[in-house]
Amino acid sequence: MALDSGKLRGFVQKTWDDSIVPTLTEYIKIPAKSPMFDGRWREHGHIDRAVELLRDWASTRPIEGLRIEVVRLEGRTPLLLLEAPGTGTDTVLLYGHLDKQPEMVGWAEGTGPWTPVRRDDKLYGRGVGDDGYATFAALTAIQALQEQRARHARCVVLIEACEESGSADLPYYVDALAAKLGSPSLVVCLDSGCGNYEQLWGTTSLRGVVGGVLTVEVLTEGVHSGAASGIVPSSFRILRQLLDRVEDSRTGAIIPRDFHVDIPRERIAEARAVATALGAEVYDRFPFPSGMRPVSADPHELILNNTWRPALGITGAAGLPLPADGGNVLRPKTSLKLSLRLPPTCEAPQAVRKLKEILEADPPYGARVTLDTYGDAGNGWNAPATDPKLLESINRASVTHFGKPAMFAGLGGSIPFMSMLGERFPQAQFLITGAMGPGSNAHGPNEFLHLPTGARVTACVAEVVGDHSERSRR
């Protein structure tokens, strides 16, 4: 049967207003930090509290045949698995996560990571858009179809609790639940972003990432800087030399070709279309201080930099006292936490081995240099060609609920699950989307979810899942 899109949109909006937003508000209050940022997550119980909150909400949904299961493998974070039987033999897999990034500093007055605040159409708090809304959006999309007695394929909603730690636990769950997950013909991921709030955005590629802690040790203990400087080399200066092996400090370009790939022509064209659509918004969305400018004024080049070229970030440091505490001491060692973003098709395991080789070889002055990698190196993901019928469905849903056709772009971040799924289900089609747009600041201070976009994305997902069922019947 044909969906009444107006009725669907009304149902989705009412569910967001009456049920989703109040529950998301409670979710924000739970400091369910990912295990990488809370080594005592079991004792603290915050991840379990978030799981219970989402499970309890799911249990109130009048979805026909809905099965709710909290799966717990020994020694691993829990996983929430929801299944709506549907009709036919096809499976649609909908994905999200409930673990959160740490607090971060810089929240605006009156807000905070665990303090939900609504201002106009924005709900502020850690994890609200990355990725707290995913469970609610997925189940509401399914319920919206059932409200109109519309057909849908068997839908499995998988919500993990380790994504912000690189999804280290997820492969074990995918193996353990292989029979329940089946072989999905469509995967909907609700953990991505959007370039604006004016249309549905589909993600076509994700960068990989390798990380580690680079430490340079020059002394066994600190000594007076006046006595040692000019004789003992600074650990910080040696770090600068080592980083120069990887990154051109003038441009930010990554030097070794091992970390580069040939960018597919279709992705170059796609980036050009996005640059035309967004223009200066590509960089204006970032909170630059007065006088600061991006690395280029060309939006097309910036998009390629952010999606298909490697980039190095320093995300943490140790061995450096606060300025007020820094005495005249030549410090014994300095450590930097490195995050090297990789192009989607660059093999991460090879990249991490090469990075370690480059940084540890022939250390200046014979200093003790180590790169301690953490977690598994994460591959990126490049979407397979989209079926024309699915593309038509996505565009139609965007026009219906946003008033504009969909836009497709690569994303500079990583979603480890997508690489895993791409390898296991090479025949699947993908809709990778989300509601985190300009200013929403995932991982940073003042994270917010643009609520109207959350509702519209939910409605679009319902339309696409409904269309997929109709295509599967033919």
In the DSSP assignment, the letter for residue 263 is P
Contact 81, 71 (CB under 8 A): yes
Tokens of 202: 């589909």
323 and 191 part of one domain: no
Full-model pTM:
0.89
The strands making up 117-119's β-sheet, listed across from edge to edge, are 117-119, 122-124, 448-450
In the DSSP assignment, the letter for residue 125 is S
339 and 242 part of one domain: yes
Segment (H or E) for 371? strand 368-373
Look at residues 209, 211, 247, 169 and name the one whose alpha carbon lies nearest to residue 347: 209
Give me the DSSP letters along 373-428.
Answer: E-S--B--EEPPPPPHHHHHHHHHHHHHHHSS--EEEEESS--HHHHHHHHH-TT-
Residue 284 lies in a domain: no
Instruction: Provide the β-strand partners of residue 67.
Output: 83
Judged by phi (left if over 0) then psi (alpha if -120 to 50, else beta), residue 264 lies in beta
Look at residues 466, 471, 458 and name the one whose alpha carbon lies nearest to residue 200: 458
Tokens of 230: 């000019």
Non-local (6+) Cβ contacts of 120 within 8 A are: none
Neighbours of 107 (CB within 10 A): 19
Backbone φ and ψ of 279, nearest 5°: 55, -135
Tokens of 73: 């493998």
Name residue, tokens 């044909």.
2
Q: What is d(CA 178, CA 367) in angstroms, rounded to the nearest whole number?
A: 48
Name residue, tokens 């959350």.
454
198 and 214 part of one domain: no
72 and 186 part of one domain: yes
Residue 300 lies in a domain: no
26 and 142 part of one domain: yes
Question: Which residue range forms the structural domain that includes residue 324?
Answer: 208-261+308-373
* Residue 47 to residues 28, 31, 34, 177, 458, Cα–Cα distance (Å): 12, 8, 8, 21, 25
50 and 147 part of one domain: yes
Q: Which of 373, 395, 413 is the last residue of a domain?
A: 373
Contact 363, 356 (CB under 8 A): no
CATH number of the domain that residue 162 is part of: 3.40.630.10
Name residue, tokens 């796609």.
270
Name residue, tokens 């004789």.
231
Segment (H or E) for 158? strand 154-160
Per-residue pLDDT of the chain (474 residues; tens, 9 = 90+): 689 999 999 999 999 999 999 999 999 999 999 999 999 999 999 999 999 999 999 999 999 999 999 999 999 999 999 999 998 889 999 999 999 999 999 999 999 999 999 999 999 999 999 999 999 999 999 999 999 999 999 999 999 999 999 899 999 999 999 999 999 999 999 999 999 999 999 999 999 999 899 999 999 999 999 999 999 999 999 999 999 999 999 999 999 999 999 999 999 999 999 999 999 999 999 999 999 999 999 999 999 999 999 999 999 999 999 999 999 999 999 999 999 999 999 999 999 999 999 999 999 999 999 999 876 578 999 999 999 999 999 999 999 999 999 999 999 988 887 888 888 888 899 999 999 999 999 999 999 999 999 999 999 999 999 999 866 655
pLDDT at 426: 87
Residue 285 lies in a domain: no
Query: From the DSSP assignment, how many helices (H) and strands (E) are in the chain?
Result: 16, 18
Residue 292 lies in a domain: no
pLDDT at 88: 80
Residue 130 lies in a domain: yes
Residue 291 lies in a domain: no
Q: What is d(CA 315, CA 463) in angstroms, rounded to the nearest whole number?
A: 40
Instruction: Provide the β-strand partners of residue 188.
Output: 94, 431
Contact 97, 163 (CB under 8 A): yes
Q: Which of 340, 373, 406 is the last residue of a domain?
A: 373
Cβ burial, residue 157 (10 Å; 0-12/13-18/19+): buried
Number of structural domains the chain divides into: 2
132 and 223 part of one domain: no
Instruction: Provide the β-strand partners of residue 139.
Output: none
Q: What is d(CA 124, CA 59) in angstroms, rounded to the nearest whole number?
A: 26
Express each pLDDT in 10-42 by its tens digit.
Answer: 999 999 999 999 999 999 999 999 999 999 999
196 and 312 part of one domain: no
242 and 319 part of one domain: yes
Q: What is d(CA 23, CA 15) in angstroms, rounded to the nearest whole number?
A: 11
pLDDT at 166: 85
195 and 218 part of one domain: no
Q: Give the up-direction half-sphere exposure of residue 183: CA atoms within 13 A in the CB hemisphere.
A: 7
Q: Give me the amino acid identity at 357.
A: E
CATH number of the domain that residue 219 is part of: 3.30.70.360
98 and 168 part of one domain: yes
3-state secondary structure string across 211-248 = EEEEEEECCCCCEEHHHHECCECCHHHHHHHHHHCCEC
Residue 87 lies in a domain: yes
Give me the DSSP letters along 328-348.
Answer: SEE-SEEEEEEEEEE-TTS-H
Q: What is d(CA 193, CA 134) in angstroms, rounded to the nearest whole number?
A: 12
Look at residues 35, 341, 313 and name the one whose alpha carbon lies nearest to residue 167: 35
Cβ burial, residue 10 (10 Å; 0-12/13-18/19+): middle
Look at residues 363, 258, 264, 352 and name the one whose alpha carbon lies nearest to residue 307: 264
324 and 405 part of one domain: no
Residue 288 lies in a domain: no
Contact 390, 187 (CB under 8 A): no
Q: Which of 328, 357, 373 is the last residue of a domain?
A: 373
Name residue, tokens 């603290």.
44
